[in-house]
A and B are shown apart, each in its own frame.
Chain A
């Protein structure tokens, strides 16, 4: 289904949600909840090609382009990472490559995730974002 809100609107919603948490604990519990509720990822898409390097946990990202939009599915064996994936998908799923490439991904910093995650984890996050951008660039014609 095509998203009804713009990227900026979804980002604003997420920032608003996170602003209610002043404790890291609540923030993590929310991420864990999001992780648990992420749509199931097809086993057959857990290929070497879809595996993102640079995370301590394993992350798979599958991107399919149709009707000029990109549809993402993703999974991880770690639940907090899965929560972050869920946020990324809610923002970028079903967007056009141009929309994705125009986005600066800054909401992640605004909700205090980057600084809250360990450096190795931050690398994982960075790799995830790079992969989303790469898939968008490949389909941008």
Chain B
């Protein structure tokens, strides 16, 4: 399998921009492109097997339910969970974290307790905890990162006290692109009786995730960054914890019985957390998305990505006009996600000029204001690569970046 074969699987990559240029899509950390097999799956489900799931006895309903539940099994297998009861489908990372913040919060967090997040979290892994803190009188604490963007896990044991309930950190930050030592973080927290949530929105894309090995209590991610359609997502939780947590949303399908006189009892897992009509055509695209992720573990592809990562990393680090945030050190790996700033050139100007050259990059705060403040910037530029990006595109990006910087200085 080589990069040309991969590119053929992603129809959008053959599109031309209005200016006639080829599209160089380097905003994969925001959302990935989707391969034909994912789009086909979505269409197939809409054209041939559309019915509401778990509800009716007719043929279509049974087919649709089968597809939906196959996706659950595919996800369970993909992340190595013990049971499909531990796989809750949501609309994405944000919905997964909000579910935990509400339901786990209701069961385990009270006045005077605290939740620890890192300085490098996406707003999705900060704001739900702040809302929980506001509701309950709990406190949100931050684990800092050092100048290279590495998590100061040496400080974690001291930050945890007897009132700490949960540590919620990302597997890979959407700004820094470093693989955090989630297994070690989990061990430190568990030794002190503290639960752990891993925001895997970026982690699931770049790492082979085994939740039993990490031993985290929750692992959450979005489908749209791992080649599935938008508004799909997963909340993995350990069964015993999920059992203890009350439901988040109430509605159809999440109940065992409803009575206006005697109250309501809830469905067993995972139904308890899946209220209302689900993403019928979308969620099963996770099956094909997972197949795509597995394909990308092919040695030739992995080696190629590593060469690309090394090339971009070296080029950015060798340029003294550029400050790179998230510098690999020791055994902390860097994924092909590069955020940087340029002295004397505004991130917005750089992104506008690169756009004119056919290159899609992200600029601004990237939904992570605290880490912008940490590094004293109002925004950064981010180039994030996928396995369908070529070395030629990486070289073109570096060349155009140089040209843009010269234009602006």
Contact = CB atoms under 8 A, between A and B. Distances in A.
Interface of A: 24-25, 28-29, 32, 55-58, 77-81, 116-118, 120-121
A29 to B, nearest CB: 6
A25 B353 CA distance: 8
B352 A118 contact: yes
B363 A56 contact: yes
Given A78-B346, A79-B346, A32 B352 contact: no
B56 interface: no
Given A29-B407, A32-B407, A56-B364, A79 B349 contact: yes
Contact of A78 (B349, B355, B356): B349
Nearest to A27: B356
Contacts of A55: 348
B356 A80 contact: no
B277 interface: no
Contact of A77 (B355, B378, B408): B378
Contacts of A121: 348, 352
A20 B142 CA distance: 54
Contacts of B345: 79
B270 interface: no
Nearest to B404: A28
A55 B363 CA distance: 12
19 contacts: A24-B19, A25-B356, A28-B407, A32-B407, A55-B348, A56-B363, A57-B346, A57-B348, A58-B378, A77-B346, A77-B378, A78-B348, A80-B349, A80-B352, A117-B352, A118-B351, A118-B355, A120-B364, A121-B352
B379 interface: yes
Interface residues of B, number: 17
A49 B280 CA distance: 48
Contacts of A29: 407
A78 B356 CA distance: 16
Contacts of B355: 118
A117 B364 CA distance: 15
Interface in B340-374: 345-349, 351-353, 355-356, 363-364
Contacts of A116: 356
A120 B351 CA distance: 12
Interface of B: 19, 345-349, 351-353, 355-356, 363-364, 378-379, 407-408
Q: Which 7 A-B pairs have the closest CB atoms?
A: A78-B346, A56-B348, A78-B348, A57-B348, A56-B364, A24-B356, A78-B349
Contact of B348 (A24, A25, A28, A81): A81
Contacts of B19: 24
A79 B378 contact: no
A28 B378 contact: no
Contact of A28 (B346, B353, B363): B353
Most buried by A among B347, B348, B353, B356: B348
A117 B378 CA distance: 20
Nearest to B355: A118
A25 to B, nearest CB: 7
Contacts of A32: 349, 407-408
A55 B346 CA distance: 13
A56 B379 contact: yes
Given A32-B407, A55-B348, A80-B352, 7 more contacts: A24-B19, A57-B348, A77-B346, A78-B346, A81-B349, A117-B352, A121-B352
Contacts of A56: 347-348, 363-364, 379
Contacts of A25: 356
A29 B349 CA distance: 11
Contacts of A79: 345-346, 349, 408
Contacts of B378: 58, 77
Contacts of B407: 28-29, 32
A55 B364 CA distance: 10
Contacts of A24: 19, 356
A29 B345 CA distance: 14
A116 B352 CA distance: 9
A28 B348 CA distance: 13
Contacts of B351: 118
A77 B344 CA distance: 10
A63 to B, nearest CB: 24
B348 to A, nearest CB: 5
Nearest to B356: A24
A23 to B, nearest CB: 10
A25 B352 CA distance: 11
A94 B101 CA distance: 55
A118 B347 CA distance: 13
A56 B192 CA distance: 42
Most buried by B among A25, A57, A58: A57
A111 to B, nearest CB: 15
Nearest to B18: A115
A24 B346 CA distance: 19
A80 B355 CA distance: 13
A65 B364 CA distance: 34
